[in-house]
Structure 1
């Protein structure tokens, strides 16, 4: 038995407990995520609202998956999509990233990276 198998065997019961807690306290967790998002959005004066909303949606989606919400068994085949956060997609500018060589360096005519 390999190391990964040992870790999986020991974490199996913990996953069940966490899943059970997520199911029982789902409303409290959802409320806490919303409240935290509101506080952060207020402190940043709305500057990062779209990112906060996106992160909150992803956190709620992960919590739903953990609680096995909407799980119809192994035959369902896959994961559930994240919930719609109500955000909008940025407009498509038609630009693509410049090609990179095998060494990972951009071509000499490529614009500098933005962060």
Structure 2
């Protein structure tokens, strides 16, 4: 093989060796962290989640705050027909007809003379 091919091959081998060392380091770190997590979990479950031991006191019962049927009914919307009828009573058709605009409200070009 030529000198150039040998250099390229050495570079590849060196790179693979470096990656292998990195992977071994990651594997060791992972193993130690996993065992640490496992130990911590076992300690936690042994301390916090022990067997139930009765205390001898009865918990105090709290009343639920439930709204009454009247309150619930008052929050419901009226039927659509009743809403439409009420709208028509309060808003006559005549109020929707276009009104004549006052001369001051008619749009005009900005620089035209008024008089």
User: Could you tell me the TM-score, scaled by structure 1's length?
Assistant: 0.20
User: Could you tell me the TM-score, scaled by structure 2's length?
Assistant: 0.20
User: Bigger radius of gyration, 1 or 2?
Assistant: 2
Per chain length, whose mean CA-contact separation is higher, i.e. which structure has more relative contact order (CA < 8 Å, sep 6+)? 1
